[in-house]
Amino acid sequence: MGQQQKPAISVAVLVYNEKGNMEPTVQNILDAVEGRFSDYEILIIDCVRRDGTDDGTRESAEKLARENPKIKSVPNPYVSVGYKYWKGVDLAKFEYYAFFPGDNEITKESIKEIIHSVEKADMVLAYTVNKEVRSFRRNFFSKTYIFLMNLMFGLEVSYFNGPSVIKTSILKSLPPRAKKNEGFFDFHAEIVVRMIKCRKASYIEIPMHLQPRTIGKSTALTMKHFKHVIKRIGKLFLEIMILRKRN
């Protein structure tokens, strides 16, 4: 019998003002995909500030793309993280689609474990195990959010908003309304809910270790994000759990 063909993967690195963090993140991904896949691409999807400036992230992304033909720089004006995710899905040409933030918070070992779990399920989800590296406020919000999402949709998911690896074909088949969710906290949660409840996708969960940020700081947990989450998840609950739309 011949040796089983290795899969191919598209990896999106979502960045915003992460010059000092992006390059080590990309290097960790390169180390993880080396030898594991028949082919791969890394899509660095960035954006500049509202005034059109950045901290040099775009220049670094373009430099990496010049040095490695499997790396692509995808520049954008100021856009949300959800937009960047779906932009990557549109561009992805391989069997699996993974995404990681470009903030270098996820350890090299965890990136490798997440990526190497492809083919074990339709969807690989990651959850944080060393939560002490994050603030009490963020951990409280996250724990409450996970509890409410599981309660509302009848799930038992450990974390809705971490990095993931998902079959590209299933992502592309989700309805256009799902792809319009460009929120910070809820775009990926909506994907997880739709994958499980509507597509009956299988999934596994992988423990993920974080390391403290040494450059820059997170811009999460703004009131604008919070209001968007309530509105969008409310609509999703109405659609899937009340109206029972499962397309």
Q: Residue 203 is part of a domain; what is its CATH number?
A: 3.90.550.10
Q: For 179-208, what is the mean pLDDT? A: 94
In a domain, residue 64? The reply is yes
Tens digits of residue pLDDT in 76-122: 999 999 999 999 999 999 999 999 999 999 999 999 999 999 999 99
E runs forming strands in the chain: 8-14, 39-45, 71-74, 96-101, 123-128, 164-167, 203-208
Residue 216: its pLDDT value, please?
A: 60
Among 54-58, 143-147, 177-181, 215-219, where is mean pLDDT lowest? Answer: 215-219
Cβ atoms of 200 and 129 within 8 Å: the answer is: no
Q: How far is CA 31 from CA 34, 37, 130, in A?
A: 5, 12, 23
In a domain, residue 2? The reply is no
Encoded tokens for 226: 């919070």
In a domain, residue 39? The reply is yes
Range of the domain at 22: 8-242
In a domain, residue 1? The reply is no
Among 31-40, 89-98, 116-125, 129-138, where is mean pLDDT lowest? Answer: 129-138
**Of 200 and 247, which is predicted with more confidence?**
200
**Of 138 and 125, which is predicted with more confidence?**
125
49: CB partners within 8 A, 6+ apart: 17, 78
Encoded tokens for 2: 């011949």
In a domain, residue 196? The reply is yes
Residue 134: pLDDT band with limits 50, 70, 90: confident
In a domain, residue 198? The reply is yes
User: Does 2 have pLDDT greater than 60?
Assistant: no
In a domain, residue 247? The reply is no
Residue 1: its pLDDT value, please?
A: 43
Tens digits of residue pLDDT in 205-239: 999 999 987 666 655 555 566 777 888 999 999 99
Q: Are strands 8-14 and 96-101 parallel, antiparallel or unpaired?
A: parallel
Residue 242: pLDDT band with limits 50, 70, 90: very high
On average, the pLDDT of the chain sits at 92
Cβ atoms of 131 and 208 within 8 Å: the answer is: no
Say how many domains are in the chain.
Answer: 1
Cβ atoms of 146 and 234 within 8 Å: the answer is: no
The torsion angles phi and psi of 44, rounded to 5 degrees, stand at -90, 110
User: Does 75 have pLDDT greater than 80?
Assistant: yes
